[in-house]
Amino acid sequence: MNRPRILQNGRLLPSLEAALEQSFDVHPLWKEADPDAYLRDHGGEFVGMVTSAIKGGSREFLAMLPNLKVISSFGVGYDALDVVGAQSRGIAVGYTPDVLNDCVADTAFSLVINVARRFPACDQFTRRGDWLKGAFPLTTKVSGKRMGILGLGRIGQTIARRASGFDMAIRYHNRKPRNDVAYDYEPSLKALAEWCDFLVIASAGGAETKHLVSREILEAVGPKGFVVNISRGSVIDEDAMIDALEHGQLGGAGLDVYTHEPNVPERLLKLDNVVLLPHLASATHETRQAMADLVLANLHAFFESGHVKVAVPPLTA
Residue 151 Ramachandran class (φ > 0 left, ψ -120 to 50 alpha, else beta):
left
Strand partners, 184: 171
- C-alpha Rg value of the chain to the nearest Å: 21
Would you place residue 1 in the very low, low, confident or very high pLDDT band (cuts 50, 70, 90)?
low
44-87 per-position pLDDT tens digit = 999 999 999 999 999 999 999 999 999 999 999 899 999 999 99
Q: Can you give the pTM of this predicted structure? A: 0.93
* Average pLDDT of the residues of the chain: 96
The answer to whether 49 and 308 have CB atoms below 8 angstroms apart is no
If we measure between CA atoms, which residue out of 169, 166, 224 comes closest to residue 194? Answer: 224
Q: In Å, how far from its chain's centre is CA 220?
A: 24
Active site residues: 232, 261, 279
Residue 24 Ramachandran class (φ > 0 left, ψ -120 to 50 alpha, else beta):
beta
- The residue-averaged pLDDT of 101-128 equals 97
Domains parsed from the chain with CATH numbers? 5-99+286-305 (3.40.50.720), 101-276 (3.40.50.720)
